[in-house]
Amino acid sequence: QAEELAALKDLPAETTDGFRMPLWVNTGLIADVARSLERGAEGIGLYRTEVPFMIRDFFPSEQEQAQTYRKQLEAFHPRPVTMRTLDIGGDKALPYFPIEEENPFLGWRGIRVTLDHPEIFLVQVRAMLKAGEGYENLRIMLPMVTSVREVEEANRQIDRAVRELQEEGHNIKRPLVGVMVEVPAAVYQVRRFARRVDFISVGSNDLTQYLLAVDRNNPRVADLYVSYHPAVLKALEYIAREAHKENASVSICGEVASEPGGALLLMAMGYDVLSMNATNLPKVKAAIRKITKTDADRLLKDVMSMDDADRIQALINERLDELG
Ligand code: PEP
Ligand code: MG
Protein backbone atom coordinates (compact mmCIF):
# COMPACT_ATOMS: atom_id res chain seq x y z
CA GLN A 1 0.00 0.00 0.00
CA ALA A 2 2.96 2.32 0.64
CA GLU A 3 3.97 1.90 -3.01
CA GLU A 4 0.44 2.64 -4.11
CA LEU A 5 0.52 5.89 -2.16
CA ALA A 6 3.94 6.82 -3.56
CA ALA A 7 2.60 6.31 -7.07
CA LEU A 8 -0.02 8.95 -6.30
CA LYS A 9 2.57 11.69 -5.89
CA ASP A 10 2.40 13.09 -9.41
CA LEU A 11 -1.23 12.32 -10.10
CA PRO A 12 -3.67 15.21 -9.72
CA ALA A 13 -6.17 15.35 -6.85
CA GLU A 14 -9.10 15.11 -9.21
CA THR A 15 -12.49 13.42 -8.97
CA THR A 16 -13.44 10.82 -11.58
CA ASP A 17 -15.63 13.43 -13.27
CA GLY A 18 -12.76 15.91 -13.52
CA PHE A 19 -13.10 18.29 -10.55
CA ARG A 20 -9.68 19.47 -9.38
CA MET A 21 -9.02 19.99 -5.63
CA PRO A 22 -5.75 21.70 -4.64
CA LEU A 23 -4.09 19.89 -1.71
CA TRP A 24 -1.60 21.85 0.38
CA VAL A 25 0.24 21.01 3.58
CA ASN A 26 0.79 22.30 7.09
CA THR A 27 4.44 22.61 8.13
CA GLY A 28 6.51 23.65 11.13
CA LEU A 29 10.00 22.25 10.90
CA ILE A 30 12.07 22.28 7.73
CA ALA A 31 11.89 18.46 7.80
CA ASP A 32 8.17 18.73 7.01
CA VAL A 33 9.01 20.40 3.72
CA ALA A 34 10.82 17.42 2.21
CA ARG A 35 8.07 15.05 3.34
CA SER A 36 5.47 17.34 1.82
CA LEU A 37 7.19 17.61 -1.54
CA GLU A 38 7.61 13.83 -1.64
CA ARG A 39 3.86 13.51 -1.32
CA GLY A 40 3.13 16.00 -4.08
CA ALA A 41 1.89 18.97 -2.03
CA GLU A 42 0.94 21.96 -4.18
CA GLY A 43 1.57 24.63 -1.58
CA ILE A 44 1.89 25.32 2.14
CA GLY A 45 -1.42 26.40 3.62
CA LEU A 46 -0.07 26.85 7.13
CA TYR A 47 3.51 27.26 8.22
CA ARG A 48 3.38 27.39 12.02
CA THR A 49 6.12 29.94 12.69
CA GLU A 50 5.94 29.39 16.44
CA VAL A 51 7.78 26.10 15.92
CA PRO A 52 11.19 27.70 15.18
CA PHE A 53 10.55 30.09 18.11
CA MET A 54 9.84 27.21 20.49
CA ILE A 55 13.09 25.36 19.92
CA ARG A 56 15.23 28.32 21.00
CA ASP A 57 16.21 30.13 24.20
CA PHE A 58 15.31 33.64 23.13
CA PHE A 59 13.41 35.50 20.40
CA PRO A 60 15.22 34.90 17.12
CA SER A 61 16.49 38.09 15.46
CA GLU A 62 15.06 39.44 12.22
CA GLN A 63 18.01 37.99 10.32
CA GLU A 64 17.69 34.56 11.97
CA GLN A 65 13.98 34.47 11.26
CA ALA A 66 14.51 35.50 7.66
CA GLN A 67 16.99 32.65 7.16
CA THR A 68 14.55 30.10 8.58
CA TYR A 69 11.62 31.39 6.53
CA ARG A 70 13.64 31.54 3.36
CA LYS A 71 14.22 27.78 3.52
CA GLN A 72 10.48 27.13 3.34
CA LEU A 73 9.94 29.64 0.54
CA GLU A 74 12.91 28.35 -1.44
CA ALA A 75 12.04 24.67 -1.09
CA PHE A 76 8.44 25.23 -2.21
CA HIS A 77 9.04 27.86 -4.88
CA PRO A 78 7.11 28.59 -7.09
CA ARG A 79 4.31 27.03 -5.02
CA PRO A 80 2.68 29.35 -2.47
CA VAL A 81 3.83 29.34 1.16
CA THR A 82 1.42 30.67 3.78
CA MET A 83 3.23 31.90 6.89
CA ARG A 84 1.19 32.44 9.98
CA THR A 85 2.32 35.23 12.27
CA LEU A 86 3.32 34.06 15.73
CA ASP A 87 0.47 32.17 17.40
CA ILE A 88 1.58 31.86 21.01
CA GLY A 89 -0.58 31.72 24.11
CA GLY A 90 -3.30 29.12 24.48
CA ASP A 91 -1.53 25.77 24.40
CA LYS A 92 1.68 27.15 22.88
CA ALA A 93 4.14 28.81 25.25
CA LEU A 94 7.62 30.11 24.63
CA PRO A 95 9.96 29.31 27.54
CA TYR A 96 11.41 32.83 27.39
CA PHE A 97 8.02 34.61 27.13
CA PRO A 98 5.80 32.99 29.77
CA ILE A 99 2.10 33.77 29.81
CA GLU A 100 0.30 32.61 32.91
CA GLU A 101 -3.47 32.72 32.91
CA GLU A 102 -6.36 30.75 34.29
CA ASN A 103 -8.08 30.39 30.93
CA PRO A 104 -5.32 30.55 28.36
CA PHE A 105 -7.57 29.57 25.45
CA LEU A 106 -9.74 32.60 26.25
CA GLY A 107 -6.79 34.78 27.01
CA TRP A 108 -3.89 36.52 25.46
CA ARG A 109 -3.07 34.52 22.35
CA GLY A 110 -2.27 34.86 18.67
CA ILE A 111 -2.83 38.27 17.13
CA ARG A 112 -3.75 39.71 20.55
CA VAL A 113 -0.20 39.19 21.76
CA THR A 114 1.54 40.38 18.63
CA LEU A 115 -0.58 43.51 18.19
CA ASP A 116 0.22 44.40 21.81
CA HIS A 117 3.87 43.92 20.92
CA PRO A 118 4.29 45.62 17.56
CA GLU A 119 8.03 45.14 17.82
CA ILE A 120 7.53 41.35 17.70
CA PHE A 121 5.00 41.59 14.88
CA LEU A 122 6.95 44.08 12.81
CA VAL A 123 10.24 42.21 13.12
CA GLN A 124 8.52 38.99 12.12
CA VAL A 125 6.74 40.50 9.13
CA ARG A 126 9.95 42.21 8.00
CA ALA A 127 11.74 38.87 8.26
CA MET A 128 9.05 37.18 6.16
CA LEU A 129 9.20 39.91 3.52
CA LYS A 130 12.98 39.82 3.37
CA ALA A 131 12.90 36.04 3.07
CA GLY A 132 10.44 36.34 0.22
CA GLU A 133 12.49 38.88 -1.76
CA GLY A 134 12.88 37.53 -5.28
CA TYR A 135 10.49 34.61 -4.77
CA GLU A 136 6.98 36.07 -4.82
CA ASN A 137 5.37 33.00 -3.22
CA LEU A 138 4.89 34.42 0.28
CA ARG A 139 1.43 34.73 1.83
CA ILE A 140 0.92 36.03 5.37
CA MET A 141 -1.87 34.78 7.62
CA LEU A 142 -3.21 36.19 10.91
CA PRO A 143 -4.28 33.84 13.74
CA MET A 144 -7.03 34.24 16.38
CA VAL A 145 -8.69 37.28 14.85
CA THR A 146 -11.97 38.29 16.45
CA SER A 147 -12.62 41.77 15.11
CA VAL A 148 -12.20 44.01 12.11
CA ARG A 149 -9.98 46.44 14.00
CA GLU A 150 -7.40 43.71 14.50
CA VAL A 151 -7.35 43.08 10.75
CA GLU A 152 -6.99 46.80 10.06
CA GLU A 153 -4.21 47.20 12.59
CA ALA A 154 -2.35 44.18 11.22
CA ASN A 155 -2.76 45.53 7.68
CA ARG A 156 -1.28 48.86 8.79
CA GLN A 157 1.72 47.12 10.35
CA ILE A 158 2.26 45.03 7.22
CA ASP A 159 2.07 48.18 5.05
CA ARG A 160 4.60 49.81 7.33
CA ALA A 161 7.00 46.85 7.07
CA VAL A 162 6.68 46.86 3.27
CA ARG A 163 7.32 50.61 3.11
CA GLU A 164 10.32 50.44 5.45
CA LEU A 165 11.97 47.69 3.47
CA GLN A 166 11.34 49.43 0.16
CA GLU A 167 12.96 52.57 1.61
CA GLU A 168 15.90 50.44 2.68
CA GLY A 169 16.30 49.42 -0.95
CA HIS A 170 14.68 45.99 -0.95
CA ASN A 171 12.79 44.90 -4.01
CA ILE A 172 9.57 43.68 -2.42
CA LYS A 173 5.84 43.92 -2.97
CA ARG A 174 2.98 43.57 -0.54
CA PRO A 175 2.25 39.83 -0.22
CA LEU A 176 -1.21 38.27 -0.15
CA VAL A 177 -2.62 38.54 3.36
CA GLY A 178 -5.27 36.33 4.94
CA VAL A 179 -7.30 35.97 8.11
CA MET A 180 -7.84 32.73 9.99
CA VAL A 181 -11.39 32.02 11.00
CA GLU A 182 -11.06 30.07 14.21
CA VAL A 183 -13.36 31.71 16.73
CA PRO A 184 -17.16 31.91 16.48
CA ALA A 185 -17.09 35.73 16.28
CA ALA A 186 -15.02 35.47 13.12
CA VAL A 187 -17.54 33.15 11.48
CA TYR A 188 -20.14 35.90 11.52
CA GLN A 189 -17.76 38.54 10.20
CA VAL A 190 -16.28 36.59 7.38
CA ARG A 191 -17.50 38.98 4.67
CA ARG A 192 -16.12 41.99 6.54
CA PHE A 193 -12.75 40.28 6.85
CA ALA A 194 -12.84 39.09 3.25
CA ARG A 195 -13.22 42.68 2.05
CA ARG A 196 -10.02 43.65 3.82
CA VAL A 197 -7.76 40.75 2.91
CA ASP A 198 -6.93 38.42 0.03
CA PHE A 199 -7.94 35.09 1.50
CA ILE A 200 -9.68 33.36 4.38
CA SER A 201 -8.40 30.21 6.03
CA VAL A 202 -10.39 28.22 8.54
CA GLY A 203 -8.60 26.95 11.65
CA SER A 204 -11.08 24.21 12.38
CA ASN A 205 -9.11 22.85 15.34
CA ASP A 206 -9.74 25.96 17.37
CA LEU A 207 -13.09 26.67 15.78
CA THR A 208 -14.34 23.24 16.90
CA GLN A 209 -13.06 23.83 20.43
CA TYR A 210 -14.72 27.23 20.69
CA LEU A 211 -18.01 26.28 19.03
CA LEU A 212 -18.46 23.17 21.16
CA ALA A 213 -16.90 24.65 24.32
CA VAL A 214 -14.57 21.65 24.48
CA ASP A 215 -10.89 22.12 25.32
CA ARG A 216 -9.01 20.56 22.40
CA ASN A 217 -6.38 19.11 24.78
CA ASN A 218 -8.51 17.84 27.67
CA PRO A 219 -8.73 14.02 27.54
CA ARG A 220 -11.77 14.01 29.82
CA VAL A 221 -13.89 15.71 27.19
CA ALA A 222 -12.10 14.29 24.15
CA ASP A 223 -15.22 12.32 23.19
CA LEU A 224 -17.11 15.59 22.84
CA TYR A 225 -14.55 17.09 20.49
CA VAL A 226 -16.07 16.05 17.18
CA SER A 227 -15.44 17.58 13.78
CA TYR A 228 -18.68 16.18 12.39
CA HIS A 229 -20.89 17.87 14.95
CA PRO A 230 -23.75 19.44 12.97
CA ALA A 231 -22.91 22.88 14.40
CA VAL A 232 -19.31 22.62 13.20
CA LEU A 233 -20.38 21.48 9.74
CA LYS A 234 -22.93 24.29 9.51
CA ALA A 235 -20.24 26.83 10.40
CA LEU A 236 -17.80 25.39 7.85
CA GLU A 237 -20.40 25.52 5.11
CA TYR A 238 -21.44 29.06 6.04
CA ILE A 239 -17.87 30.37 6.01
CA ALA A 240 -17.19 29.07 2.48
CA ARG A 241 -20.44 30.50 1.17
CA GLU A 242 -19.95 33.92 2.79
CA ALA A 243 -16.29 34.26 1.76
CA HIS A 244 -17.22 33.52 -1.83
CA LYS A 245 -19.79 36.31 -1.81
CA GLU A 246 -16.79 38.63 -1.56
CA ASN A 247 -14.84 36.62 -4.14
CA ALA A 248 -12.25 35.70 -1.53
CA SER A 249 -10.40 32.44 -1.79
CA VAL A 250 -11.22 30.21 1.15
CA SER A 251 -9.05 27.43 2.46
CA ILE A 252 -8.97 25.26 5.54
CA CYS A 253 -5.93 24.20 7.52
CA GLY A 254 -7.42 22.32 10.49
CA GLU A 255 -7.18 18.57 10.99
CA VAL A 256 -10.65 17.89 9.58
CA ALA A 257 -9.18 18.46 6.11
CA SER A 258 -6.71 15.63 6.78
CA GLU A 259 -9.49 13.05 7.08
CA PRO A 260 -10.68 11.61 3.76
CA GLY A 261 -14.34 12.00 4.75
CA GLY A 262 -13.81 15.55 5.96
CA ALA A 263 -11.94 16.44 2.79
CA LEU A 264 -14.80 15.20 0.59
CA LEU A 265 -17.33 17.29 2.54
CA LEU A 266 -15.12 20.38 2.37
CA MET A 267 -14.64 19.92 -1.37
CA ALA A 268 -18.41 19.77 -1.78
CA MET A 269 -18.81 22.89 0.38
CA GLY A 270 -16.67 24.76 -2.14
CA TYR A 271 -13.37 25.17 -0.30
CA ASP A 272 -10.71 26.32 -2.78
CA VAL A 273 -7.78 24.71 -0.97
CA LEU A 274 -7.44 21.94 1.61
CA SER A 275 -4.30 22.13 3.74
CA MET A 276 -3.35 19.13 5.84
CA ASN A 277 -0.54 17.23 7.48
CA ALA A 278 1.73 15.62 4.90
CA THR A 279 1.18 12.13 6.31
CA ASN A 280 -2.50 12.12 5.38
CA LEU A 281 -2.22 13.84 2.00
CA PRO A 282 -1.98 10.62 -0.07
CA LYS A 283 -5.01 9.12 1.69
CA VAL A 284 -7.05 12.25 1.02
CA LYS A 285 -5.92 12.36 -2.59
CA ALA A 286 -6.82 8.69 -3.06
CA ALA A 287 -10.36 9.32 -1.76
CA ILE A 288 -10.85 12.32 -4.06
CA ARG A 289 -9.64 10.31 -7.05
CA LYS A 290 -12.26 7.62 -6.39
CA ILE A 291 -15.39 9.72 -6.09
CA THR A 292 -17.39 11.88 -8.49
CA LYS A 293 -18.02 15.49 -7.53
CA THR A 294 -21.73 14.67 -7.85
CA ASP A 295 -21.46 11.92 -5.24
CA ALA A 296 -19.46 14.17 -2.91
CA ASP A 297 -22.19 16.81 -3.27
CA ARG A 298 -24.81 14.18 -2.48
CA LEU A 299 -22.87 13.03 0.59
CA LEU A 300 -22.73 16.62 1.82
CA LYS A 301 -26.44 17.10 1.26
CA ASP A 302 -27.23 13.92 3.20
CA VAL A 303 -24.87 14.83 6.02
CA MET A 304 -26.24 18.35 6.40
CA SER A 305 -29.73 16.99 6.99
CA MET A 306 -28.58 14.81 9.91
CA ASP A 307 -28.73 15.61 13.63
CA ASP A 308 -26.06 13.49 15.17
CA ALA A 309 -22.27 13.38 14.80
CA ASP A 310 -22.00 9.60 15.33
CA ARG A 311 -24.56 8.88 12.64
CA ILE A 312 -22.83 11.34 10.33
CA GLN A 313 -19.52 9.58 10.96
CA ALA A 314 -21.16 6.21 10.25
CA LEU A 315 -22.63 7.43 6.96
CA ILE A 316 -19.28 8.87 5.88
CA ASN A 317 -17.54 5.58 6.71
CA GLU A 318 -20.16 3.66 4.76
CA ARG A 319 -19.68 5.83 1.65
CA LEU A 320 -15.88 5.64 1.95
CA ASP A 321 -16.12 1.83 2.17
CA GLU A 322 -18.27 1.75 -0.94
CA LEU A 323 -15.57 3.69 -2.79
CA GLY A 324 -13.11 0.93 -1.81
C1 PEP B 1 -6.48 25.46 13.87
O2 PEP B 1 -6.76 26.03 14.93
O3 PEP B 1 -7.25 24.75 13.23
C4 PEP B 1 -5.13 25.62 13.29
C5 PEP B 1 -4.87 25.22 12.06
O6 PEP B 1 -4.17 26.17 14.05
P7 PEP B 1 -3.49 25.47 15.32
O8 PEP B 1 -3.87 24.01 15.30
O9 PEP B 1 -2.03 25.72 15.14
O10 PEP B 1 -4.08 26.23 16.45
MG1 MG C 1 -5.58 27.59 15.77
How open is the CA angle 32-23-18, to the nearest 5 degrees?
Answer: 155
Q: Answer yes or no: is pLDDT of 133 > 70.
A: yes
Q: For 302-318, write each residue's pLDDT tens digit.
A: 999 999 999 999 999 99
Whether ipTM tops 0.90, in short, is yes
Whole-number Å distance, alpha carbon 295 to ligand 2 midpoint, is 31
Nearest ligand (C-alpha, residue 26): 1
List all residues 6 or more positions away from 297 whose beta carbon is below 8 Å from its beta carbon.
Answer: 268
Model pTM score: 0.97
Give the pLDDT confidence of 51-60 residue by residue, as tens digits: 999 989 999 9
Nearest alpha-carbon partner for 24 in 222, 277, 197, 262: 277
Which residue has the CA at smallest separation from atom 9 of ligand 1? 48
Single-letter amino acid code for the residue at 256 = V
Q: Which atom of ligand 1 has the smallest separation from the CA of 255?
A: 3
Peptide bond before 95: cis, by omega within 30 degrees of 0?
A: no
pLDDT (0 to 100) of residue 113: 97
- Could you tell me the sign of the dihedral formed by the alpha carbons of 240, 243, 247, 251, in that order? negative
pLDDT at residue 1 in the model: 64
Identify whether the C-beta of residue 317 lies closer than 8 Å to the C-beta of residue 297.
no
Residues pairing with 149 in the sheet: none
Report the distance separating Cα 295 and Cα 257, nearest Å: 18
Q: How far is the CA of 212 from the centre of ligand 1 (A)?
A: 15
Best of 179, 187, 205 for a ligand 1 pocket test (most atoms within 8 Å of beta carbon): 205
Cα 187-256-85 angle, rounded to 5 deg:
60
